[in-house]
Amino acid sequence: MKKAQIEMVGLLVIVLILAISFIIAVTFLIKPKSTNILDQSKNIVANSVLNALFSSDYDLLASENKKIREKVIECINLNNCEIEVKPKIERLLNKSLDNKKYYLIIKSDSTEIIRIQSSNLCNENTINKISSYNYVINPTTPLISSKLIICP
């Protein structure tokens, strides 16, 4: 290789190193600041409560024992969630959250099926809330999801 070609390859390597460095620097500058560990651990509490709730047995004395998750899917199909499932979920949340303020919403596709609000002061707009991620109860059609907010 001639000297000019070697210099061109060297220049190309330098330009590539600068471009990669620039891309990495820009991604770190643009990247949103992550929430602190305390907020993440609080969100884990809300997610754990939802997971435990929907994995709980609906009725221990029944011959065919179903999980609350299954009863929610069933009540949506029968259109009796407010009568049958909502009081059970409300009792379990009151016991497990030790009378803290909370807000639970269960949606089928985008339609609200169950809303349980322990206080009018606790909703999606509350400041300093502990919020779960959208918890998917039924990933198939209809998509059934829920979200729990625990208020201070």
pTM value?
Answer: 0.68
Rounded to whole angstroms, how far apart are CA atoms 107 and 52? 18
- Percentage of residues in the chain having pLDDT higher than 90: 9
CA 99 to chain centre: 22
Q: How far apart, in whole angstroms, are the C-alpha atoms of residue 103 and residue 121?
A: 10
CA pair distance 36, 120, nearest whole angstrom: 28
pLDDT over threshold 70, residue 94: yes
pLDDT single digits (tens) 105-122: 999 888 888 999 988 888
Per-residue pLDDT reduced to its tens digit, 48-61: 988 888 888 887 66
pLDDT at 137 (0 to 100): 85
pLDDT tens per residue, range 58-86: 876 666 778 888 888 888 888 888 888 89
